Amino acid sequence: MTSKYDVVVVGAGIVGLAHAYHAHRRGLTVAVVDHADRVAGASVQNFGHACITAQSGDALEYARTGRSHWLELARTAGFWAAESGTHCVARHEDEYTVLEQFAELRGHDHGRLLNRDDVLDRLPISDTDVVGGMYMPTDVQVDPRAAAPAIARWLADSGVDFHWRTAATSFAPGVVHTSRGDVQAGTVFVTVNHDIDRLFPEYAERGGLVRCRLHMMRATMPLRAPLPSPLFTGWSLLRYSGFETLPAVADVAARLRAEHPDYVELDLHQMYTPQPDGSILLGDTHVREITASPFQSEEGFEVLITEAKTLFGVDRIDVTERWQGTYCSAPGSEFLLEEPVHGVHVVTVTTGIGMTTSMGLALANVDKALAPA
């Protein structure tokens, strides 16, 4: 296989597809190379939640920029998307204080405070311990099983070439060497998530990149009403950069760690996203390793089920699927952006916000890489 394109993207996850999409929109010839035979990995294992509001810095800018592209692609590529926003429930005064500080910082358009009655009217949860909450109206969600595969199909139908079951092995200026021959390109984006350590190990090691594996599940519950949007809890306030600098977060962290040291060991993030078929995605936990273990304890699943029963006030949860999600993680950063070879751009999201930031991140990278010299 010897072919020539303006842009070659290595990796058909959502970050790679976003780069292919923005290059294609420029009228460029584009190819996507991937070792699998379809879209797989973190891009279909996640919550399907474009968690825009809870980001900060570059991630917030990428998320806000990418929102319109998600909605446009949902229309053109034909997958489900909802401008549902995100709710967050506060079950302790210190959690509500964090939400107050966030709402004051971001303003009413991005964080709308809710009192206890508002929360119980909007959400099908138990009234036990509810103090209040917040609604973040700009967040978006998609079906994670359908969105990225639909984008890949639409790109293929629109003229982007996909070379499936083809592994990139090495790179030189203007050339991607693959298991099926060379592909020539003026610009290359390498978007292989945690597998960057197999292509450019020195950059992965220098950045401290590891694989983060998660407990995830899909379930149905006998709720009194449908869950209207993704739902955050107090644990979410410890997870996202938009909250981490708020003064009251330290109080939440100290209390949760004292009350649930076993949950801290699991690195629990208790959140829920409703799906079009009425099921709910529950997650998650986090274990970080260079080589992800194939073995997964039942403890994480038991914690997710126990906490969901308590939050929603139900005595039965019917689990239909369990899986171990995996994504790239690195300390102290959210993105690894390098150019190890002239014209070859490594793009890796080093935390679990690939769906959230992919469209805006890709637009910025494509614009920069293809800007006139």
CA nearest neighbour of 326 among 352, 344, 308, 302 = 352
3-state helix, strand, coil in the chain (%, to 5): 40, 30, 35
CA dist 272 and 3 (Å) reads 45
Cα-Cα-Cα-Cα dihedral sign, residues 346, 350, 352, 353: negative
Please report the pLDDT score of residue 143 as a whole number: 94
CB-neighbour burial class of residue 127 (10 A; exposed 0-12, middle 13-18, buried 19+): exposed
CA within 13 Å, CB half, 288? 14
pLDDT in tens, 245-262: 999 999 999 999 999 999
Residues of the chain under the 50 pLDDT cut = none
| Per-residue pLDDT at 371 | 87
Mean pLDDT of the chain: 95
pLDDT at 332: 85
Residue type, 256: L
Q: Pairing state of beta strands 30-33 and 161-163?
A: parallel
pLDDT in tens, 175-212: 999 999 999 999 999 999 999 999 999 999 999 999 99
**Listed residue (365, 42, 30, 98) closest to 240, CA to CA:** 98
pLDDT for the residue 158: 97
Of 136, 49, 53, 90, the C-alpha closest to 256 is: 90
Judge whether 91 and 260 are in contact, CB under 8 Å: no
pTM, entire model? 0.96
pLDDT at 1: 55
With residue 368 as reference, give the H or E element that holds it: helix 354-369
Longest distance between any two alpha carbons in the chain, whole Å:
64
* pLDDT confidence of residue 333: 87
The predicted pLDDT at position 373 comes to 67
Peptide bond into 157 cis (omega under 30): no
CA–CA gap between residue 54 and residue 229 (Å, rounded) = 15
CB environment 245-270: b (16+ within 10 A), e (fewer): ebebbeebbeebeeeeeebeebbbbb
DSSP 110: T
